[in-house]
Chains A and B, each alone.
Chain A
Amino acid sequence: MKPARELRYREAIDEATRQAMAKDERIVVLGVGVDDAKGIFGTTRGAFEQFGSARVFDTPLSEAALTGICVGAAMRGLHPVLVHARNDFLLLTMDQIVNNAAKWRYMSGGKLHVPFTIRAIIGRGWGQAAQHSQSLQAMFAHVPGLQVIMPATPGDAKGLLMTAYSTDSPVLCLEHRWLYETSGPVPEEPYYLPIGTAAVVREGSDVTIVAVSHMVVEALQAAEILAAAGIEAEIVDPRSLRPLDSDLICRSVAKTGRLVIADTGWRSYGVSGEIASRVGEELFGRLKAPIRRIALPDVPTPGSQKLEQVYYPGSSQLAAAVRQVVEGQGSSETDGRSRPRGATEFEGPF
């Protein structure tokens, strides 16, 4: 087997979109700015150049109507891909996503299908503050009828999006902006990863870290810190939140006996709580330590860079939480919060 080619995350999205569009003429891409020079951080411009304005087109800033328009078009022979530069804008479209996109197939007794992909980006940093850097996956993963994927690697981004573009169901793909410049192996030919299948990103025997989206990057860094301390962490990336691959998560926790969950969203009523409760229901007697969660504190995103550093948990904090789970009391949990972040990981502006 020849060594896999490397692509950046954003390039993998662009390639998936163009390959899917070449295979399926039902696919159209729309959204504010999809055809402009930047093309949603380079993820849609290539499709515009290859397929033109009939299939890749700009829209008014009418997120609610556009979402409903995509639902209607999906029922009548298209597969629309609606792109939002921030997932915060999805809040304008809740009725259309929750009441229409997610329910139309069910309400029609299966007579109608809604092949519809929504791409939306999670922002972070550079002072984007409370309305441009939320991570809203829990709200959408709550809704039956809507699939929610959060690829963390370029290879998963391509494979999961190819699947989303080829299914008859509505799929929401949430893409963390900090993943866009990361690189990884991506096969050149089209391929399809099943939605609802988690991946073991790193094998380990002492503890399971279930990490979502960008927290996979943090978890891999944490695993290096932990390995130096003699702790081997297994990292599981759910990749899809609805459906959620409980089986693989539970198999890993059954092996390690310990679980730390790292989510990009808020702590309360979120993905970390759902995963913790599923593991608790399945493996209560087999856990060697209480489940720990690393997630955003229950406050809106602050604007100041100093407050951002406090707000976002990082690999150090995750490593500290793991040590506490593995070694018991005594490990510090706070050093991750004060870890300086900045230019080496992300250079603004967005």
Chain B
Amino acid sequence: MKGSLTTRRSSAGAGRRRRPDDLGGLAPETLRALYVTMRRIRRAEETIVALYPEQEIRCPTHLSIGQEAAAAGVCQALRPTDTAVSTHRCHAHYLAKGGDLRGMFAELYGKATGCCGGKGGSMHLTAPEVGMLGASAIVGGSVPLAVGSALAASLRGIDEVAVAFFGDAAMEQGVTHESLAFAALRRLPVLFVCENNLYATNSPLTARQVAKDIAPRGAAHGVPGVIVDGNDVVGVYKGALAAVERARRGKGPTLIEIKTYRWREHVGPNYDVGPGGRTQAELDAWMAQDPLAALARRLERRRVLPAGHRETLERAVEEELEDAVAFAKASPFPDPAALYADVD
């Protein structure tokens, strides 16, 4: 037990960076799936950026550009019957878990055909048909929901794993620690996935927490921690897969810290570098490690995904996006009576 609680760094962790062409022994179809998921998230987010000035997406949007490997890598290790909950920054998790792109864009447009019928908006994307149970916009608020999902699976004897996606600031919330402790106590099949992107809105991690790493804090509750490089989707996937397999064997929860970075501002389509904010040098350094471009290069070099094949897959993503946006724009707004439905 003692040994298993030592925080591990995956082979891709800081200091032991994956060799440029290391594909971790993954099957070509797994690697291609990871690429398509990340590309789909990246392009969906960039499409929001492009459309935002039209003032038709009238809700706050928290973009995951730069953090795609976290959602893609973790969800690739899950089955559709496994569950996930997320945060205000939930587009990537919704899409990686298998959420419908039309439903997402229609929700952003506030339409009746949205994945929440137009009642959730950008911060509460939900797709229970693929295990996406939704998201809370209160930091740390959704973490216990994943534990509850795992508790239900455990008590009902169902082979299911639950994932709580959250950010570094959620580690500052008591409910997160309560959730870690309870999951360990009952050895529940749950992954605590912390995307440490170094900022809570504009507050840097160093202004909020003493310890540099988050993963070791699980050990105090009996939850082993793993640190993975968020710019290396192969490392994220392998770290998540090990935690998922551990959970399925009845060994309990794992806390996975993914070192990552959001390229854009906390909320909205723009960048936020400048006086009083993040530095251009810091942003440039992270963008130089673009997880999507890094995977594309690796897959091309290893001939898993030659340029021509990649472009075909990318065209399919673009077509799906065009269709989703057209669908959202053409869809009707909710009937006024919907205001009073689904409550009490």
Contact = CB atoms under 8 A, between A and B. Distances in A.
Interface of A: 28, 54-55, 59-60, 62, 64-78, 80, 95-96, 99-100, 104-112, 144-145, 147, 169, 242-243
B145 interface: yes
Given A72-B85, A109-B120, A110-B117, A78 B128 contact: no
Interface of B: 83, 85, 114-120, 124, 126, 128, 133-134, 136, 138, 141-153, 155-156, 158, 160, 162, 174-175, 178-179, 181-182, 185, 341-344
B126 A72 contact: no
A99 B87 CA distance: 13
B119 A109 contact: yes
A64 B83 contact: no
Given A68-B175, A72-B152, A107-B134, 20 more contacts: A55-B155, A60-B185, A68-B148, A72-B149, A73-B151, A75-B145, A76-B160, A77-B152, A78-B155, A78-B156, A100-B141, A105-B342, A108-B120, A108-B126, A108-B128, A109-B119, A109-B342, A112-B134, A145-B344, A147-B344
A112 B343 CA distance: 11
Contacts of B343: 105-106, 144-145
Given A108-B116, A147-B344, A62 B146 contact: no
B128 A65 contact: no
A76 to B, nearest CB: 4
Contacts of B341: 110
Contacts of B175: 62, 64-65, 68, 95-96
A15 to B, nearest CB: 23
Contacts of A109: 114-120, 126, 342
A149 B38 CA distance: 48
A169 B342 contact: no
B147 A65 contact: yes
Contact of B133 (A66, A72, A95, A106): A72
B178 A64 contact: yes
A283 to B, nearest CB: 24
A95 B178 CA distance: 14
Interface centre among A104, A108, A110, A112 (most CB of B within 10 A): A108
Contacts of A243: 344
B138 A95 contact: yes
Given A60-B182, A99-B138, A108-B134, A65 B118 contact: no
A95 B152 contact: no
Contacts of A71: 144-145, 148
A48 to B, nearest CB: 15
A69 B148 contact: yes
Contacts of A55: 155
Contacts of A73: 148-149, 151-152, 155
Contacts of A72: 85, 133, 144-152, 162
Contact of A144 (B114, B149, B344): B344
